[in-house]
Structure 1
């Protein structure tokens, strides 16, 4: 007879872990108060992670609990397996009606993981923003659920998680915001080696302020005694405690199994874990062992119906075997009553490890056949069955079937926004390509097409290097077996991937080569190649060159009905025309591109149209369009309206992700330029990217950093720009290189580091071969040279002064040469003349000459055309020059006006300098007349114009007084009248007198 078994092998009471339990309770309390967090519970196998989590969850009566576990299917893991399990459990807790109500708007994307909800997801799978939309849907669902009760998301065995689940956990850690959500995830610390997929994720999560690590230590002796006493129902023998403590090393599961082995045999304890588990299983009847062998091949959890299908045992025999396995606490029924799971993964691994090779293959084949007959038995549901089929057929050495299942699983994963898993399945199929039969290959896509799809999956997943490798392999595999247009199309796609990877020069070369190899016959591939060539040239700032391929791309796309390619070519054509001084035509084409993209559902192309349309309108506002100066704010209003419209479209459509952030950052940049920094701050709070989020984070770093510099929040600006600096020399994309260099140089100058600013400007200006960038870099370079010369002169460094003088002379020569090459009537000439005013003023400062007139010219121009706040820098320098010349009263007026404007803007950087200068000059800024503040929302320049209107000056006279064009004055007056609610100049003058704005 078998020895009598104890009634239980697990402690009926929860032993120890009081501190860990308290930390979980504290994290939940913070989440309930709107401070969400992620707790990572780590420890060796058997240490008690699952028990801690189970006890914690069982005690939460007022929280919504969503729990799911990861499956040990290797790299063929089911996409989002724990998320699917967690949300399916939600249906039972809330009911189908509430779940359907939850899946509305952007949250419809969750239907991709919950197909039984009868809710259709949005039809945008496969684009690079698709996974972000799903993540936003999960986040929104959790935040919505949290409005009623705190939400706990519990994920077990994160070390087995698929790549997409890991990405989701990182996303939640970064973006939970104020949601009442607690995420708790367990993982085996002893399995996470340096090259494990979880290792970099843990490192990334550890950097997030919302993440807390909870590492479980082995039991102390007193805790072990408490555990053994609870199991035995009596105090354990001290000698037994000594032996178990030594062998188990405080591991709770090992201690339980050692105790069970002692109770069973009464003899010496097993010496290894394998022996411990073998002795645990040995007393089981054969019926139970057979059931366990079958269940072990299914992984840790198995559906009862699936077990029946595979076992093919008489019902009574299966029932008896299950009963014994449960009675001996090897299997445990799940809460839903439909499945069984091994009490501990170590038990499943032990049983699976004892299977004979042929036996293991037969069992995996049995599971695959059962799932083929009834896909609904799959752990992830019928829609996810092919991932499990690929796993089981591969383990059964049925390579043809594994190959076919992997290809279908890849397509399914792409539809679920799980590009990493899709890429794995494509790669498995490619690995099997030469090992499967000719019939299997014939039934699949050609090898080059599988490689192309693998490249696309890698691209969508953000792995540009792997995408490049697969695309190159696709080109090699397609050589001599596909028509020329397909081969050339693959080259064009490789060019695009190279650009994304930062290999701009090679991308440009290949885009040209792809067109040369492409037949002239109209085709979709030719339309794509032309559209991409135009876009590449446009992105490189080569607008005139971009026109021809973009125009041809439009024609070819229309000829073959390729609407998406037509939209792409129109986008590049419109952007290039707008930047090549035909703004109205460019804007019209961009609006046409937008309309087509919205009609055909090209998500990225819709967003790209909004982004580029807003950008060219803002650029027109910044530099003026034709004879219309910046003071006519119509272009700025249009730019802001376009960005806001695009953001509303994205929200209404459920679109999220990097490109939505780029669109929002366009809006931030516009608001920054106009000095509406509080509004910019509100938009910044809605940006999902963070400045450390790779290359895309450069855009965030730039937009946020600029605002923080202007506000004088230098430490925050430095944190934003850290790690970005000026971009690498391998890129030909000037869009980030020059503006980030501008921000980095400006920060260095405000912080008193002109040498660093000089180096930054030098590096960046090597790439500035277009006029557009001169107004950003040259004024800062001049500021740096003036500061360096002043410091050098103070130290008696004659050589340093001479070098700065020579460099300043070079800046003036560069500007004068650019002016000579530019149409005198073009707006760019006016802009370059303004930059020259600034450089000439800095030249006087460098030489130690008090020349207020030079700074007055710079102030007049900056008021008209400069970024908000920049004119206050020039007023600071103007006040310095006036004081140096002895014009104290005029300097006090300039200081007071500049300080008032800086305070209105929140321009902390320049305000501090103005206050310091006022203290040194003993100027009382508090006495500045602030009556003009009541002037009904007038800009500083409009206030000046109104003062002169009140004096009775004509537009021409006002222009001469303020150094601006007569037509510009007319525009100012046209803006002033409706703001004051008057209809003519006389009424405006009366209002000015009433407000005390008249000069008299």
Structure 2
């Protein structure tokens, strides 16, 4: 077939998909950043559609940049598609100033990788890349295209998750510049087997409001026939067209390849795609086939110089062969003097057809050529891949170690761990004299490496509450490496094991190892490890972190971590300092600590790491506790905008406000947190809100069930009760006590006993949670306050309301929790009224009412008003729910005065009078001023004016 007989593939049968993507581009050009995940089977037309969209975008003035993922097995090259994108942008003068101002660009491109170990370095990298793309899009509209996402390395997947869930599609504040950016990412749907690592990421991304999914289905037969006819300048026989349509099965690439192979000298048409592709390859000259086979071993694309050296051909022969392959559209020209296979399936077919010896020899050639160009970190993963496939195990081992170090510097822990695991697999098969030495390790290198892998894994497991597994791996790490001679590896293994041990309640083990490791860290001058161990010790001894000794250790740890430049450990110290203030019953003191810590996290690029997220939640919790609910809601909204998809860390206390204010959607939102929460915080918030919502509805069965579900979800391998048990139990006890009160004296003794037994079980849960951990340390003022409430509710359930017990609960919440104190005052007022102490009951209820009104806690306000109305005054008359000032306003309302006139007579402003009028209408349940006066007369709250009074 002559080259002129094959024309460029037209876009057929994709009108709807094209319109949808061009609509996304239009919205992006208008400042609304969007992303579309384009799915489809191999060859269905994803690349062709994206090419069409990219062409239209470029013609409209959008800068289009493509990054491609490549198949290098389980490891891959960290951040490859994003590196490719930034490399193209770096060559564009329009973006040079922005790129120069962002260290993230330099770091991904390799020149600025920080060799210092920093496990949270990739968080700074991610936030830097998000900011970089936002600023680039401010210079010119951008379209980023990521191809073959199913081959993406884990770090690229993690960065994509970050950009879409927390970065690029979101504007941090209303004044931020518009983000004229669209991102299109394609992947093979038929490659995503059940355990493919891309599957959970896709499930997560498609739920984001700025992300869409577009699935390219096979083309209808009529559209395939149109495509087949359009591909040839000369018409094909109809029988041939029908045969191609039948065999293509709606796959545009299959159809193109069948058309391209039509008329070739072959014995019949191929039954499989590999055979089909190889037919076209075999039509080339022997030299061109040799070049294709050599290029296939390199990967999807290869540079001209590297291909020439690997093929071992003179320049003229190579150029002639390449011209032939490009002319037959088997290879396409890429940027920077590279050649790429027109489709990944073509490369796979050629690679699979290689003889085993031929494949091994070519891999070895590429590995040696890359090594000869310098053992640069950027080629380490590629060299490791080629050495493994060529069965050169010593060199594969060395290259894998280099690749692990490079991944660590880039902030790609998943790739680092996989490379290290490869090293462990290879180590026994490599003779000792061929093994590389591990710099800085004085003992047996394989033991040090194995320990490093295990304590790294243990730390990751701790962050996802896999405590038993973390303890097992940290134990193995500590056993693999001796304490003498002293080494940083042993110190960090020990520090990790201390944390794992303490999480499982093995405090004696943790203390013993911590003191020993601290001494070693001091001798080595390892300030970061010293800081980490001091934090653990602050929690483990001398009364814990709330004690003066604990506070002193946390302060030292904070300064040591900062001096060592170890941001994650500094964040751990700051988190513990803030939590200790809250636990000590001083929520007000938390706020400046938290403000400083979060600002520090922002400056160091660690806002998305676990401890700053915890401090974000604590900041909102303190605002909620102190009754600053509007500030809590606004701060939560800001946090969601700046760091979306952070779940309960940014929304938890806002949900507490919602349920307290009677928001009917609060329980639904909490259930969504429980159903989708992969983090402990989501389960905590969901459990609290759902239990409280059921209790507020007066449903004891549902409340207890919600509590049980929450405790199951929050349980860990240690077997200890979660600290929140006391709060959940106290919440459940309220409707349980009310149900018991209803049954008492009603004759159903069996049902009454069921609920009193339930109350006893609940109070035992509360006592076990609050009264002390395994080391005998009780919870702080908050836990003791919830226990006091639980005890008062239990007394109400089993013997009736006790004013003294409720007065104790009210006093216990005096440390600063305004809402819970008001709720206890309501229960106390009911107990006082039941005891005939009506005046005290009304006064107690009025105090609670002021708090409820200020907070906007409508359900609590309604219950208090109902109690106040129903409680007789000492003289036997109903007590007014109105304040003295409101009664004055009501009397003037009865005289027909306007707000301005009321203000003049009472020496207040008209606006203040209007507020009093609104409060009166709300308290009396009136829709108008006239109705309020009528209700007041009817209830005896005001007396009729004497005749002539005006």
The verdict on a shared fold, with TM-score over 0.5 as the criterion, is yes
Describe the shift of the 1:6–1:483 C-alpha distance in structure 2 as closer, same or farther (beyond 3 A): same
**Do 1:64 and 1:150's aligned partners in 2 also have CA atoms closer than 8 Å?**
yes
Aligned match for 2:738, one of 767, 773, 787: 787
Task: Name 1:178's counterpart in structure 2.
Answer: 170
What corresponds to 1:533 in structure 2?
Answer: none
Report the equivalent of 2:902.
Answer: none
Q: 1:58 to 1:915 in 2, by over 3 A?
A: farther
**Structure 2 residue aligned with 1:658:** 610
For 1:504-903, what aligned pairs fall within 5 Å after superposition? 504-505=504-505, 508=507, 511=510, 515=512, 529-530=513-514, 549=515, 557-558=521-522, 560-574=524-538, 583-584=547-548, 586-620=550-584, 622=585, 635-656=586-607, 657-685=609-637, 703=653, 705-713=655-663, 715-716=665-666, 719-720=669-670, 745-758=691-704, 776=727, 779-780=730-731, 782-793=733-744, 796-805=747-756, 838=789, 842=793, 846=797, 854=804, 857=807, 861=811, 864-877=814-827, 880=830, 898-903=848-853
For the structure 1 residues 917 and 152, does the alpha-carbon distance in structure 2 shift closer, same or farther, using more than 3 Å as the test? farther
Verify the 8 A CA contact 2:164 2:210 in the aligned structure 1.
yes
Offset at residue 832 of structure 1 (A): 9.3
Q: Within 2, Cα distance between the matches of 1:831 and 1:468?
A: 30
* Structure 1 residues 69 and 606, CA gap change in structure 2 (3 angstroms): same
Aligned to 1:114: 109
**Secondary structure of the residue that 2:213 maps to in structure 1?**
strand
Counterpart of 1:135 (choices 126, 139, 144) is: 126
Q: In the aligned structure 2, how far is the partner of 1:585 from the partner of 1:429?
A: 44
1:366 aligned onto 2:368: no
1:553, distance to aligned residue in structure 2 (A) = 6.5
Alignment of 1:392-431 (within 5 A): 392-431=386-425
Deviation at 1:784, TM superposition (A): 4.2
CA distance in 2, matches of 1:167, 1:65: 22
Q: Sort the Cα spacing of 1:895 and 1:73 in 2 relative to 1 into closer, same or farther, 3 A.
A: same
Q: Residues 150-229 of structure 1: matches in 2 within 5 Å?
A: 150-176=141-167, 178-179=170-171, 180=179, 181-229=181-229
Map 1:74-85 to 2 at 5 A. Answer: 74-85=73-84
Task: Report what 1:349 is aligned to.
Answer: 348
1:438 equivalent among 416, 421, 432:
432
Aligned to 2:447: 448
Which position in structure 1 is the counterpart of 2:947? none
Contact kept in structure 2, 1:705 and 1:743, CA below 8 Å = yes
For residues 759 and 928 of structure 1, do their structure 2 counterparts lie closer, same or farther at Cα, with a shift above 3 Å needed? farther
Deviation at 1:674, TM superposition (A): 0.7
Native 8 Å contact 1:661 1:689 kept in 2: no
Does the 8 Å contact 1:855/1:874 carry over to 2?
no
| Partner deviation per Cα, 1:52-82 (whole Å, 9 max, x = no partner) | 1111122113434342011111113101111
Give, in whole Å, the separation in 1 of the partners of 2:779 and 2:606: 37
Q: Secondary structure at the match of 1:72?
A: coil
Residues 1:791 and 1:338: Cα distance change in structure 2 (over 3 Å): farther
Q: Secondary structure at the match of 1:202?
A: helix
Cα distance, 1:229 vs. partner? 3.2
- Asked if 1:495 corresponds to 2:445, the answer is no
Distance 1:930 1:649, change over 3 A: farther
Query: Matched residues in 2 for 1:910 and 1:750: separation?
Result: 9
Indicate the SS of the match to 2:212.
strand
Partner of 1:316: 316
> C-alpha displacement at 1:816, in angstroms?
11
What is the CA–CA distance in structure 2 between the aligned matches of 1:905 and 1:932, rounded to whole Å? 24
- Distance in 1 between the 2:76 and 2:182 partners? 25
TM-score (norm 2): 0.78
The answer to which of 132-141 and 414-423 deviates more is: 132-141
Do structure 1's residue 242 and structure 2's residue 242 form an aligned pair?
A: yes
Query: What is the match of residue 70 of structure 2?
Result: 71
Report the CA distance shift for 1:264/1:171 in structure 2 as closer, same or farther (over 3 A).
same
Change (3 A) 1:908 1:237: farther
SS in 2 for 1:613: helix
746-755 or 680-689: bigger deviation? 680-689
Aligned position for 1:18: 15
| Whole-angstrom CA distance in 1 between matches of 2:150 and 2:769 | 60
Asked if the contact 2:229/2:241 (under 8 Å) is kept, the reply is no
Pairwise CA distance, 1:237? 3.6
- Alignment-derived partner of residue 979 in structure 1: none
Equivalent residues in 2 for 1:945-964, closer than 5 Å: none
Most deviating of 340-349 and 61-70: 61-70
Q: Distance in 2 between matches of 1:820 and 1:611?
A: 24
Over 3 Å counting, the alpha-carbon distance change for 1:879 and 1:428 in structure 2 is same
**Range moving further from structure 2, 679-688 or 883-892:** 883-892
- Figure out how many residues of one structure are paired with residues of the other and give that number: 852
Task: Find the counterpart in structure 2 of residue 960 from structure 1.
Answer: none
For residue 184 of structure 1, report the CA deviation from its aligned partner: 1.8
Measured after TM superposition, the shift of residue 246 of structure 1 is 0.6
The 8 Å contact of residues 606 and 612 in structure 2, kept in 1 or not, is answered as: yes
Whole-Å separation in 1 of the counterparts to 2:695 and 2:303: 67
Q: 2:860 matched to 1:910?
A: yes
Whether the 8 Å CA contact 1:739–1:776 is kept in 2: the answer is no
Task: Give the superposition deviation at 1:331.
Answer: 0.7
What's the offset of the Cα at 1:889? 9.1
- Cα distance between partner residues in 2 of 1:199 and 1:829: 44
Answer yes or no: is the 8 Å Cα contact 2:331–2:339 preserved in 1: yes
Cα distance, 1:151 vs structure 2: 3.7
Change (3 A) 1:460 1:879: closer
CA distance in 1, matches of 2:636, 2:136: 25
Evaluate the alpha carbon distance shift between residue 174 and residue 930 of structure 1 in structure 2; reply closer, same or farther with a 3 A threshold.
farther
TM-superposition CA deviations, 1:945-994 (whole Å, max 9, x none): xxxxxxxxxxxxxxxxxxxxxxxxxxxxxxxxxxxxxxxxxxxxxxxxxx
> Which runs of structure 2 are paired with 1:210-359 in the superposition (5 Å)?
210-233=210-233, 236-265=236-265, 268-334=268-334, 336-359=335-358
Unpaired runs of 5+ in structure 2? 172-178, 439-443, 872-877, 890-950
Deviation readout 1:819-838 (Å, 9 max, x if unpaired): 999xxxx9999989977875
Contact 2:674 2:682 in 1 (8 A): no
Q: How big is the shift at 1:689?
A: 13
**Is the CA contact 1:611–1:666 (under 8 Å) kept in the aligned structure 2?**
no
Partner of residue 384, structure 2: 390
Separation in structure 2 between the aligned mates of residue 806 and residue 362 of structure 1, nearest angstrom: 77
Q: What does the per-residue CA deviation read over 1:183-211, in whole Å, with 9 as the maximum and x for residues that have no partner?
A: 32111112211132223333333444443
**What is the distance in 2 between the residues matched to 1:494 and 1:819?**
28
**CA distance in 2 between partners of 1:738 and 1:140 (Å):** 32
- Superposition CA RMSD, Å: 4.7
